[in-house]
């Protein structure tokens, strides 16, 4: 169940009570800290991966919060603090129709009473995605811009929404996002030999690199095609922090957000066997890569492996053939 450790008073606080800027920072902080209780590293049954003796432990950040979920809880923390500390009167951020970042920010907008405008990639469609419908319900103002303009300079479209806006880059990246991600590992930072995570912008991987014990092996499975800038950035940072980086760039299955039948079947079977739901954009590709990492010798049975489930469950709704899994998952895990 989500947030097993949350006292009722905090849940009540989030659902009912008014929340405004005058509220003491320390109180906001206490609430965020409760959300940051580390989820357990759960021992996986090697059979879920078609393996026999692997020692894989999954960090279940898919269960850290139903809405500000997975790495988003970490990425948004310092942005929310900045909003209150520097007296911003609104937040502007960016994303696509099924963006996990937009979904998480929208929930934060409602819970922390922060005015939020999201610049959305593409023309406004006739029917909004579930993610964008939820964002509207949560009080987010949506502003659609064409794909070319979005790609070239989305920041030019931040308009006159607010007098003193806090701009959060797409996906919650930037220094505040990285800083939050340095808090993902907690006491697990030196307990494993191999650490494995996915990557989009690389913010989360940078946070892990900065907080892992020197000498750790970090395997990054990017959700995007090609090596490019992301690899260069992670590789530089790894050498500064003494981390052994392995960048596995052959598991994107055609590119960002592309999902083929094999991937969708893998997600369904994995869910049936383990009860753990993966999303097709990040964690599905990541978990599907695991057997290959063993067969190619990057991972070995004798080594203890930490595997990061970074959340993103809401995005499953964007894939018609596995949408039912998301509905079942939410029913099972929400009180
Ligand atoms: C569920 C999920 N996992 C992984 C990632 C990749 O994180 P990053 O962009 O920090 O590399 C994202 C994107 O932010 C995400 O939404």
* Digit-coded pLDDT (tens) for 31-43: 665 556 678 999 9
Rounded mean pLDDT, 202-231: 96
Average pLDDT, the chain: 90
User: Residue 4: its pLDDT value, please?
Assistant: 40
Q: How far is the CA of 172 from the centre of ligand 1 (A)?
A: 9
Token readout for 246 is 């392995």
3-state helix/strand/coil string of 129-156: CHHHHHHHHCCCEEEEECHHHHHHCHHH
Q: How far is the CA of 109 from the centre of ligand 1 (A)?
A: 20
Of 138, 132, 142, the residue nearest 317 (C-alpha)? 132
Q: Closest residue (by CA) to atom 14 of ligand 1? A: 171
Whether 282 has a pLDDT exceeding 50, the answer reads: yes
Atom of ligand 1 nearest to the CA of 312: 1
The ligand 1 site (C-beta within 6 Å) comprises 70-71, 100-101, 171, 198-205, 282, 310-312
Q: What size, in residues, is the chain?
A: 335
Q: How far is the CA of 64 from the centre of ligand 1 (A)?
A: 15
User: Residue 36: its pLDDT value, please?
Assistant: 60
Segments in 113-251 forming alpha helices (H) = 130-137, 147-152, 175-181, 203-211, 228-241
Strand partners, 91: 116, 166
Q: How far is the CA of 214 from the centre of ligand 1 (A)?
A: 23
Whether 7 has a pLDDT exceeding 60, the answer reads: no
* Digit-coded pLDDT (tens) for 240-258: 999 999 999 999 999 999 9
Alpha-carbon distance 202 to 111, whole Å? 27
Atom of ligand 1 nearest to the CA of 203: 10
Of 5, 116, 21, 120, the residue nearest 63 (C-alpha)? 5
* Digit-coded pLDDT (tens) for 111-164: 888 899 999 999 999 999 999 999 999 999 999 999 988 888 767 777 789 999
Which residue among 58, 100, 183, 283 has the greatest number of ligand 1 atoms within 8 angstroms of its CB, and so is best to mutate?
100
Global pTM value? 0.91
* Digit-coded pLDDT (tens) for 298-314: 999 999 999 999 999 99
326: left (phi over 0), alpha (psi -120 to 50) or beta: alpha
Alpha-carbon distance 225 to 249, whole Å? 7
Q: Are 201 and 174 in contact (CB under 8 A)?
A: no
Alpha-carbon distance 117 to 135, whole Å? 10
Radius of gyration of the chain (CA): 19
User: Residue 153: its pLDDT value, please?
Assistant: 74
């Amino acid at each position: 169940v989500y947030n097993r450790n949350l006292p009722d008073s905090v849940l009540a606080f989030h659902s009912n009570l008014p929340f405004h800027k005058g509220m003491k920072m320390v109180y906001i902080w206490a609430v965020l800290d409760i959300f940051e209780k580390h989820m357990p590293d759960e021992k996986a049954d090697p059979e879920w991966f078609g393996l026999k003796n692997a020692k894989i432990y999954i960090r279940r950040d898919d269960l850290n919060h139903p809405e500000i979920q997975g790495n988003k809880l970490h990425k948004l923390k310092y942005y929310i603090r900045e909003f209150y500390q520097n007296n911003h009167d609104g937040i502007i951020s960016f994303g696509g129709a099924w963006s996990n970042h937009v979904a998480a920010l929208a929930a934060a907008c409602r819970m922390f009473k922060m005015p939020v405008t999201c610049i959305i990639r593409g023309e406004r469609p006739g029917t909004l995605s579930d993610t964008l419908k939820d964002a509207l319900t949560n009080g987010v103002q949506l502003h659609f811009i064409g794909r070319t303009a979005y790609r070239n300079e989305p920041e030019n479209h931040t308009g006159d929404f607010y007098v003193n806006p806090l701009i959060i880059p797409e996906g919650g990246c930037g220094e505040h996002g990285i800083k939050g991600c340095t808090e993902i590992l907690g006491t697990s930072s030196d307990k494993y030999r191999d650490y494995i995570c996915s990557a989009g912008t690389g913010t989360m991987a940078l946070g892990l690199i900065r907080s892992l014990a020197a000498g750790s092996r970090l395997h990054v499975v990017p959700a995007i095609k090609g090596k490019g800038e992301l690899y260069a950035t992670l590789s530089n940072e790894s050498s500064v922090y003494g981390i052994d980086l392995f960048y596995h760039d052959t598991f994107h299955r055609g590119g960002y957000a592309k999902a083929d039948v094999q991937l969708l079947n893998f997600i369904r079977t994995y869910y049936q066997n383990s009860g753990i739901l993966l999303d097709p954009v990040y964690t599905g590709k990541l978990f599907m890569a695991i057997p290959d990492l063993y067969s190619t010798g990057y991972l070995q049975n004798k080594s203890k492996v930490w595997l990061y489930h970074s959340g993103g469950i809401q995005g499953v709704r964007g894939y018609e053939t596995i949408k039912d899994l998301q509905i079942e998952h939410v029913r099972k895990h929400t009180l």
